[in-house]
Amino acid sequence: MADAATIEGHCLCRAVRITISHPKHHVEICHCDMCRRWGGAFYPALTGESFAIAGEDAVTTFQSSSWAERAFCGTCGSNLWYKFLPTGNRSFVAGLFDGAETLGIEKEIFVDEKARWTDLAGDHPRQTGAEVIAEAREAGFEFD
């Protein structure tokens, strides 16, 4: 499935359906305190070259900070995506997608805010929040 040109996802009630074209083969795991509160554990982010969304009428968005918006299904409550407002880039909750369970982990970020009960195995990069923010500042983003 990870080699498919597209990957299909949907929320629990199927009101919202998402297709990602040329998805990455790895998810990025965010352990920050906002992602933990939002999803209950961590945020497994999946991105790709492009995406299409059906059922946007069912989507509710919440601006969780000055730089990010998060979306969920207003009917079933499934979390859907994270949108980085400075670029408009979105990543999607990997668990929504059929076949995404075979993907690997690209990296873990905000590991200094990680809950102990979400230790993940594997030899992939792990960055603290300070390292992630420093990298974003170097790329030109401003945070309050």
Report, in angstroms and rounded to the nearest whole number, the Rg of the chain calculated over CA atoms.
Answer: 15
Place of tokens 């961590």: 42
Q: How far apart are CA 75 and CA 139, in angstroms?
A: 37
Q: What is the DSSP letter of 74?
A: T
Subset of residues 29 to 58 that bind Zn ion, contact rule: CB under 5 A: 30, 32, 35
The total of other beta-carbon atoms located within 10 Å of residue 94's CB is 22
With contacts defined by CB under 5 A, name the span among 18-26, 48-56, 61-69, 71-79 that binds Zn ion: 71-79
Q: Which of 20, 71, 73, 93 binds Zn ion (CB under 5 A)?
A: 73
Which residue number, 73 or 93, has a Cβ lying nearer to Zn ion? Answer: 73
Residues near Zn ion (CB under 5 A) are 11, 13, 15, 30, 32, 35, 73, 75-76
